Structure 1
Amino acid sequence: MSCYRFIKAQRDHYPVRRLCQLLSVPASGYYAWQQAWQQAQQQRVVPGEPAWETALVKVFGVHKRCYGPRRLPVALRKKGHRVGRQRLRAAMRRRGLRALQPKAFTPRTTDSTHGRRCTPNRLLDQPKPTQANRF
């Protein structure tokens, strides 16, 4: 029996911090083990795929395929699922989910269909230059 299982079995009778002191294990280690154990139990409830993958598909659809592997972990963390970016990318690739890429920005500075009169080219009336930097 591991130390953490023993603490879990005895925590109804004794304080967790005291048990951790007696077994000389950090209390933060026990709580991290407990959280990982609970997440493993939740994942075992849904056969076939982890709970975060179903949440991934829902969040991806809610955000209209605009969220990619950088923004999706933040959205999933708000839903209570902690998943890394690389694992998320692998799951997205497995399911064929690809985020839409925005089109490149092309500035529109000239409106050539404005319908107004164009200014005349006054350089056409000038004589051709004979030397550089001379008229």
Structure 2
Amino acid sequence: MQEISVDQVFGVSRNMILSYLEREQVDGRFKLALESDKHMVIYGSSKQGKSALVHKHLNKNDFLAVGCTPRSDTESIYSSVLRQIGVKIKSTNIEKTGTSGKVAIKTSFKAMIPFFGEGKAGIDTE
């Protein structure tokens, strides 16, 4: 007989909880959405069972989880997704001040993509 610990049944966890109860209205719609060819975003308040729902129906290697906070922005979300698929991002900021009082700012990003090489993007402004 397999030994089960209390935290595998009760509490809040990013892992599958053994006491998970399927809800037709939620789990049924989730399963239908999985059959489509669209991306899916699961969102909601903290501690509502989002992770439990995903872990119940998907293997760990079949999805990307991006935790968002009120301070999350588009760049942080995309960066999280890219990191999870193995893309390394290097960002550089260069600021120069001349004698005329002008400030030149250059921001660049370099993505190292496995099997494809690297790509660069940059922004210059004065």
Provide the TM-score with structure 1 as the length reference: 0.25
Q: Which has the larger radius of gyration?
A: 1
Tell me which protein shows more strand as a share of its residues.
Answer: 2
User: Given the two structures, how large is their TM-score scaled by the length of structure 2?
Assistant: 0.26
